[in-house]
Amino acid sequence: MSGRAIPSDFVKSVLQNGAGRYVCQLQRLTFKFCKSSGGSRGTRDYIEKHLIDFSRENPGTAVYIQPRRHHTARVVAEFLNGNTVVKNINCLNPDDIMKWLEHLRTRSGIEIVRLRKSQHTDSPSIQGVWTPWTNKDSSMNISDYTDKKLLEMKRDELTATEKLLELAKNLREKDMKKTT
């Protein structure tokens, strides 16, 4: 599969939710089901047995129940950032529905996409990002670059002619000492 076909994103969180206090991002749950059909039987059972407990535990989320004649059972979840997620719960047990609701409750509402990297920061650098001037000496601000010393080749060793001249100089000095 070509990488461009699948939408991708970096790791995100809503305003660092949970770093201090946690705010449940799920705002509204709407159950749409049929009163008579067998597909939404599990939904009906869930509503009878567990829904009141769920809404008591999560006072932040509003729960609506809308019977729709001969429709597939589904849950519409609306999040704080405006996203809506529709989950088909036709032909599901109350236990399975409970698991899916738990999934919706703990979600941040951000779309589930392929992650390019497993980690992400807004401030990648603490010491400051590299610039051309980070590792340069401050004396270069006031130096003249047409100066020959800076432009010439740097060398560790003397050239052969220079060594020769030095040798000759030493020999000459020795001779001078002998004569005197």
Q: Which stretch binds other proteins (CB under 8 A): 16-24, 45-53, 76-84, 166-174?
A: 166-174
Nearer to other proteins, 69 or 121 (CB): 121
- 118 is a contact residue toward other proteins (CB under 8 A): no
The total number of residues shown for the chain amounts to 180
SS3 of residue 58 by DSSP:
coil
Shortest distance in whole angstroms from residue 160 CB to other proteins:
11
Q: Which of 16, 118, 131, 180 binds other proteins (CB under 8 A)?
A: 131
Which residues have a Cβ under 8 Å from the Cβ of 172 and sit 6 or more positions away? none
Q: Are the beta carbons of 48 and 139 closer than 8 angstroms?
A: no
Nearer to other proteins, 16 or 56 (CB): 16
- 179 is a contact residue toward other proteins (CB under 8 A): no
Shortest distance in whole angstroms from residue 150 CB to other proteins:
5
Q: Are the beta carbons of 32 and 71 closer than 8 angstroms?
A: yes
What is the distance between the alpha carbons of residues 149 and 157, in angstroms, rounded to a whole number? 16
The crossing angle, in degrees rounded to 10, of helices 94-105 and 41-49 is 70
Q: Which of 147, 176, 177, 180 binds other proteins (CB under 8 A)?
A: 147
